[in-house]
């Protein structure tokens, strides 16, 4: 496999909002001296920010065959990631077909750790989990040189986007996660793993890495971490999944995403996210960020003006 930095590394979802994995991967690869082609859906401030970092920014749609030829051609290494969407499997198949046509030499595919417990007879009720499982099958059948990373739940998902308002306004973590333990991981740590693999992918081809945070604990424990980081008492309030999901619906969250989040919440309550690995440390030589450090980084999001 080539070790030249002459070919750009393609980063899909480079302007994605959830956790900013693509943007972080782009910045990390550029810092390592690689050229990066950053795929975005549209030109906006996030794409301009990528260009200021030094990336070659291209617009395209993962479900559009013609644009994928333009995006992938000339790239030997690719990070493939897409936000939660009913079109996820279509995008994966489209991407895989074009990547195979152009002879891509290494792909880092981001999936979900729940897939580790799924099989041909055992999926979950989440439409997105099934799409991730099917997407992994497609990439395996394709014969492409793939490295799969399966993070547990992102901290940014439940603990930022879905919880920040209640923490700000009422000093509560209002979540439907029950009292089981969970090991969420910061998106930045996932990005570190992806960038490390893409820097030298050859030893990792065909491997699956399960990525967790540095500890598995219940939500009361994480509420105490919020308290320590913010300097005020934050309490966890467990809420039923159904009314919580209905509130998301009222806020305009897409039905596909709500269905996925509701299943994730139910699985959390069942203890299915009580998982621990040391893959992040093995791959990067650094421990993943703990909740207290993460909250300190995002303190402004949890603090009233």
pLDDT of 181 strictly over 60: yes
Question: Which string of DSSP letters, residue by residue, matches 115-156?
Answer: GGG-BTTB--S-HHHHHHHHHHHHHHHHT--EEEEEE--BHI
Each residue of 148-167: pLDDT tens digit? 999 999 999 999 999 999 99
Residue with tokens 């960020």: 289
Summary mean pLDDT of the chain: 93
pLDDT category of residue 5 using cuts at 50, 70 and 90: low
Q: Give the model confidence (pLDDT) of 203-242 as tens digits.
A: 999 999 999 999 999 999 999 999 999 999 999 999 999 9
Residue 259 has pLDDT above 60, yes or no: yes
- Residue 18: predicted pLDDT: 52
Which residue, among 134, 155, 136, 156, has the nearest Cα to 147 in the 3D structure?
136
Rounded mean pLDDT of 272-282? 97
Alpha-carbon torsion angle 234, 239, 241, 245, nearest 10: -70
- pLDDT confidence tier of residue 3, bands split at 50, 70 and 90: very low
Report the C-alpha dihedral over residues 277, 172, 228, 305, rounded to 10 degrees: 120
Helix, strand, coil % in the chain, rounded to nearest 5: 50, 15, 35
pLDDT band at 282 (very low <50, low <70, confident <90, very high): very high
Q: Is residue 2 predicted with pLDDT exceeding 50?
A: no
Comparing 188 with 15, which gets the higher pLDDT? 188
Please report how the helices 88-101 and 65-72 are oriented relative to each other, as an axis angle in degrees rounded to 10.
50
Kindly state the average pLDDT of the residues 118-145: 92
All structural domains of the chain? 9-153+184-212+275-288 (3.40.50.720)
pTM for this predicted structure: 0.94
Report the alpha-carbon distance of residue 224 to residue 236 in Å, rounded: 9
pLDDT of 112 over the 60 cut: yes
Least confident of 119-128, 187-196, 232-241: 119-128
Neighbours of 93 (CB within 10 A): 17
pLDDT digits (tens, 9 = 90+) for 16-72: 665 579 999 999 999 999 999 999 988 788 888 899 999 999 999 999 999 899 999
Does 269 have pLDDT greater than 90? yes
Q: What is the pLDDT of residue 1?
A: 39
11: closest CA among 35, 46, 44, 33?
35
Residue 145 has a pLDDT of: 98
Q: Tell me how far apart the alpha carbons of residues 200 and 164 are, in angstroms, rounded to a whole number.
A: 37
Residues 93-99 have a mean pLDDT of 96
Task: Answer left, alpha or beta for residue 103, where phi above 0 means left and psi between -120 and 50 means alpha.
Answer: left
């Amino acid at each position: 496999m080539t070790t030249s930095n002459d070919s750009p590394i393609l980063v899909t979802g480079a302007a994605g909002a959830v956790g900013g994995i693509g943007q972080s991967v782009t910045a990390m690869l550029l810092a390592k001296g690689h050229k990066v082609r950053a795929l975005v859906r549209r030109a906006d401030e996030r794409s301009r920010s990528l260009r200021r970092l030094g990336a070659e920014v291209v617009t395209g749609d993962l479900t559009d065959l013609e644009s994928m030829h333009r995006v992938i051609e000339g790239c030997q290494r690719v990070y493939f990631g897409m936000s939660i969407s009913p079109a996820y499997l279509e995008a994966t198949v489209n991407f895989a077909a074009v990547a195979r046509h152009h002879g891509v030499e290494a792909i880092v595919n981001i999936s979900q750790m729940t897939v580790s417990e799924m099989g041909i007879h055992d999926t979950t009720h989440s439409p997105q989990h099934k799409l991730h499982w099917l997407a992994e099958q497609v990439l395996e059948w394709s014969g492409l040189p793939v490295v799969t990373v399966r993070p547990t739940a992102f901290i940014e998902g439940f603990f930022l986007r879905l919880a920040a308002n209640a923490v700000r306004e009422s000093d509560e973590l209002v979540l439907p996660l029950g009292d089981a333990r969970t090991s969420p991981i910061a998106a930045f740590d996932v990005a570190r793993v992806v960038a490390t693999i893409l820097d030298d992918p050859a030893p990792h081809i065909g491997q699956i890495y399960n990525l967790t945070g540095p500890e598995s604990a219940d939500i009361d424990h994480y509420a105490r971490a919020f308290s320590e980081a913010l300097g005020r008492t934050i309490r966890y309030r467990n809420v039923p999944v159904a009314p919580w999901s209905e509130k998301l619906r009222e806020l305009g969250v897409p039905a596909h995403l709500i269905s996925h989040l509701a299943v994730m919440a139910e699985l959390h309550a069942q203890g299915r996210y009580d998982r621990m690995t040391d893959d992040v440390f093995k791959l990067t030589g650094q421990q993943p960020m703990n909740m207290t450090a993460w909250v300190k980084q995002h303190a402004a999001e949890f603090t009233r003006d």
